[in-house]
């Protein structure tokens, strides 16, 4: 579970300081599906970076407690320790898919397993299974450019889930997709969330996506509020 306490994040932009998060305090239990909404520049992505161990707050604490890890204060860990947590506990899905263009679908999924060690054969087997789970068992050798947007996002979801993370963070996962594909991707994510017992946190502008979540948070000018 996550426990954020008085998290503030400030960025220096030239001579002025911009506050992206202001005294954010929130608790997210294990296995919950949470949607974070808010206007552009409100602090959604910054909050997601705090949750994803990609950045540290200027003040406050971000606690992550998992079965494998125990309790970790992400605000006080070094780069290598944060990297290790990202490698084992957190999966990411990005709006732009962020696949490596020169690698095939299967090889892209394997990149998430590279930091965990293991044999090439084991990695290939797990990546193939992950792609099978997202319905791309017949596209293992395709390059991203040979796949549709929806298929590329499926590959990205497979890459996020292949390592069996505790948390799945999705930043506008359907932002680049049409409505039909959006629903397919959300159905897939929701299905995997239910099946694997993940904590799923989705940042979205799309109310249709947000309505699927158990819990909706709204962030504006760096301040987080709970929506009914």
- Interacting residues with other proteins (CB under 8 A): 45, 49, 52, 54-55, 79-80, 83-84, 86-88, 91-92, 94-96, 98, 100-103, 107, 110-116, 120, 123, 159-160
> Which is closer to other proteins, CB of 121 or CB of 228?
121
Which of 122, 55, 139, 135 lies closest to 90, judged by CA? Answer: 55
180 C-beta neighbours (distance < 10 Å), count: 9
Q: Which is nearer to other proteins, 52 or 150 (CB)?
A: 52
Minimum gap (Å) between residue 126 Cβ and other proteins: 13
CB of 226 to other proteins, least distance (A): 25
Q: Least distance in Å: CB of 79 to other proteins?
A: 7
CB 159, min distance to other proteins, A: 7
Helices (H), the chain: 44-51, 79-89, 105-110, 120-133, 149-161, 179-196, 207-210
* Residue 170, C-beta contacts closer than 8 angstroms, at least 6 positions apart: 92, 93, 189, 200, 201, 202, 203
- CB of 101 vs other proteins, minimal distance in Å: 7
Q: What is the C-alpha separation between 20 and 61, in angstroms, rounded? A: 15
Nearer to other proteins, 83 or 135 (CB): 83
Q: How many CB atoms lie within 10 A of CB 68?
A: 9
- Residue 192 or 212 having the CB closest to other proteins: 192
The smaller minimum CB distance to other proteins, of residues 82 and 185, is found at 82
């Amino acid at each position: 579970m996550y426990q954020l306490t008085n998290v503030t994040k400030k960025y220096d932009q030239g001579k002025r300081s911009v506050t992206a998060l202001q005294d954010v305090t929130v608790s997210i239990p294990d296995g919950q599906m949470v949607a974070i909404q808010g206007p552009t520049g409100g602090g959604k992505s910054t909050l997601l970076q705090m949750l994803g161990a990609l950045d540290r707050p200027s003040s406050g604490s971000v606690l992550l407690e998992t079965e494998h890890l125990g309790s970790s204060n992400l605000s006080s860990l070094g780069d290598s320790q944060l990297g290790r947590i990202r490698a084992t506990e957190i999966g990411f899905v990005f709006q732009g898919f962020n696949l490596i263009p020169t690698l095939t679908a299967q090889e892209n999924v394997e990149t998430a397993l590279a930091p965990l060690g293991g044999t090439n054969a084991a990695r290939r087997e797990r990546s193939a299974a992950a792609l099978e789970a997202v319905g791309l068992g017949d596209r293992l050798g395709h390059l991203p450019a040979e796949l549709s947007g929806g298929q590329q996002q499926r590959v990205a979801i497979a890459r996020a889930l292949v390592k069996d993370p505790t948390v799945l963070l999705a930043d506008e996962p359907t932002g680049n997709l049409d409505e039909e594909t959006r629903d397919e991707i959300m159905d897939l994510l929701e299905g995997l969330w239910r099946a694997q017992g993940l904590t799923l946190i989705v940042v979205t502008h799309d109310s249709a996506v947000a309505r699927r979540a158990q819990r909706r948070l709204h962030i504006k000018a760096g301040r987080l509020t709970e929506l009914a």
